[in-house]
Amino acid sequence: MIKIVKDSDHWSKVMQQCVFHDSYHTFEYHQLSKRPEEEPFLFVFQQADIIIALPLLIRNIKDTTYKDATSVYGYAGPACNHNHLNEQVILGFTAGMEEALMEMSIVSVFSRLHSYFPQQLQILQRLGKLEQAGQLVYIDLTKTAEIQLANYNSRLKTQVNKLRRECTVYRVNSESEILEFKKMYYQNMDRVNASESYYFSTEYFMNLSVCREFKANYYLIKDHSSDMIIGGGILLINKQMAQYHLSGAQDDFKRISPTKLLIDQMRVDAQQSGAKYFNLGGGKDGSLDNLFRFKALFSSDYKPFYLWKYIVNPEVYEQLNHRFEKTDNGDYFPAYRS
């Protein structure tokens, strides 16, 4: 049986029991990331001493009595408290989720998964489709700093050393400094014609900095010669995981790539925090593009990135596609929202 959790205290207690969870699984992050039309739910399955907890954002489907589910920006999927799960547990979770989703009139579920918790693929194997969507670059923080630096592209090491001489990267937490970063981040989103979903609100940036369930480190980079703030970023840390979350740089200084210094400092701080993995993410939409190649300058260690697509009610799903005149061509899921 699945228990549905919506309150912060219960959600947090469940996550405290799940060794395999990240910042993106927490109640605080879901409250910050949800859109006005979305409501966070935690689907909790427990059998003996095993716990599986799946966070989702539930939203209404326009002009219908049905709903669907999606995941937060980042890497979510099921959290759990055991490394090895037996067949009986998987079958119990599968049956429980099918029943719970149908009872809530949820037609489909889409979620980005967390590449560093391999149990997720086993947990979801009987629910819909698991689709590999590229690779993520990471730095193994269990290795020494010397080995990490040895994995850097040779030219990158020279560039980072030069940036350290010419710039200072430092932690910030004042409102004015956070808003300075937000302004740069927005400029970067404008430059790449990002979708509306990437323009997080002022409240998002401010409240992220004071979250208690995980740590959000804000950074700014100052150029010595001009005395200008030229870049910045956010590092999320939760136990074994460090996430390169958001970053931005002033347009006039893109040529010197201050983000290289930012990532290097984040790597140092993440290792000092005790994290095992520093996830840099991948390319846009999972492609091996310039963004992916930039991140790959820092490491040759990759993890496969998966998406979970689950049609809970195939009959209604097809009716919605027909009603909204959409074609289920596999490029967008769910198709009726394309």
Peptide bond just before 334 cis, omega within 30 deg: yes
* Stated pTM of the model: 0.95
Q: Mean pLDDT score of the chain, rounded to an integer?
A: 96
CA distances from 148 to 36, 219, 246, 299 (A): 42, 21, 22, 8
Residue 76's pLDDT is 98
Residue 285 pLDDT greater than 90, yes or no = no
Residue 330's pLDDT is 66
Fold classification of 2-134+305-337 (topology level)? Aminopeptidase (3.40.630)
- pLDDT digit string, tens, across residues 197-229: 899 999 999 999 999 999 999 999 999 999 999
Residue 331 pLDDT greater than 80, yes or no = no
User: How is domain 142-275 classified at the architecture level of CATH?
Assistant: 3-Layer(aba) Sandwich (3.40)
What own/partner pairs with CB < 8 Å and gap ≥ 24 does 313-316 have? 313/66, 313/102, 313/106, 313/107, 313/108, 316/66, 316/107
- pLDDT digit string, tens, across residues 25-37: 999 999 999 999 9
Give the bridge partners for 215, in sequence order: 237
Largest Cα–Cα separation, the chain: 64
C-alpha span between 329 and 315 (Å, rounded): 17
- pLDDT digit string, tens, across residues 79-110: 999 988 999 999 999 999 999 999 999 999 99
Strands 167-172 and 228-238: unpaired
Residue intervals of the chain classified under CATH 3.40.630.30 are 2-134+305-337, 142-275
Give the bridge partners for 172, in sequence order: 218
